Amino acid sequence: MKILKLTCLTIFTALLFTSCSTVPGTGRVQFTPIPSGQMLSMSISQYGEVIGKAKISKDKKTTAMVRRVGLRIARAVEDLLKEEDIEMKFEWEFNLIDDLKQANAWCMPGGKIAVYTGILPYTKDETGLAVVMGHEVAHALARHGNERMSRGLGVAFVGMGLGLFLNEKDPATRNIFMGAFGAAAQYGVILPFGRSQESEADRLGLQLMARAGYDPNAAIPFWQRMAQAGGNKPPEFLSTHPSNETRIEDIKTHLPEALIHYFPLQRP
């Protein structure tokens, strides 16, 4: 048992010191042990499966708007990475999926982006769409997918160690401890971590849309519209997303930082 514990500690320490990086635009130090090439390969495969089954919109005007906003934000990402001398690989692709029931958009690691037509009534215009796409691209830029997978593996690793430690205990005692660990991991680690990622994506997304020439002030009315459209939501501490009220207040706090980078849209 002592040898196993020592081996686990050695592996964890090695990963900790070889897998740290800095989030562009926020400066937060993060732990991302999963190789970026592996994340990119998985995202390309998953993206292909989703797009292969999806109904791609034939609305040329709206599709052109999605790609125009996406390309401008992509240029903003490249500019930011160059400024901070950070090397990241993106293979940008933008698709508009015809699904009015889904008010959603997402960006996979590596820059594969999908926007659903159901989000467009809330974005209203090109600047509103930049709020959404800036936020989703920020998740990829900040390597949030890598962090989520790494955090899940870490929790599983600790759970496995706890299980070995409790292996000789009676079943009732083992179940109590493992149940307590599961609850603590969910509400003390996983959910708060998800909320912090969402808040960071809001902050970084404001910077990206501003750098792309879109007024970041548009984020407030967009999230107000989303709040009005939402139904019953779980309490914030039970959710991976911050409450709408918290999100809007945080955005107000980060607007001055984003506005430094904002110049009215002039690029083609």
pLDDT per residue as tens digits for the range 74-91: 999 999 999 999 988 899
Active-site residue, selected from the candidate residues 49, 136, 168, 249 = 136
Domain extents in the chain: 21-259
Q: What is the pLDDT of residue 197?
A: 85
Residue 180 has pLDDT above 70, yes or no: no
Instruction: Tell me what pLDDT residue 121 has.
Output: 95
pLDDT of residue 248: 93
Rounded to the nearest 10 degrees, how much is the dihedral formed by the CA atoms of 17, 136, 238, 236? 110
3-state secondary structure of 116: strand
Which one has a higher pLDDT value, 138 or 151?
138
Distance CA 75, CA 210 (A): 12
Find how far residue 94's CA is from the centre of its chain. Answer: 17
Give residue-wise pLDDT tens across range 230-244: 655 644 444 556 778
Quick one: pLDDT at residue 168? 56
Against a cut of 0.85, is the pTM above it?
no
Q: Are 249 and 118 in contact (CB under 8 A)?
A: no
Catalytic annotation present for 168: no
Q: What is the mean pLDDT of residues 161-184?
A: 46
The predicted pLDDT at position 39 comes to 67
Nearest to 16 by CA among 123, 140, 154: 154
Q: How far apart are CA 31 and CA 12, in angstroms?
A: 11
pLDDT tens-digit map of 202-217: 999 999 999 999 999 9
- Rounded to whole angstroms, how far apart are CA atoms 14 and 3? 16
The two counts, helices (H) then strands (E), for the chain are 10, 5
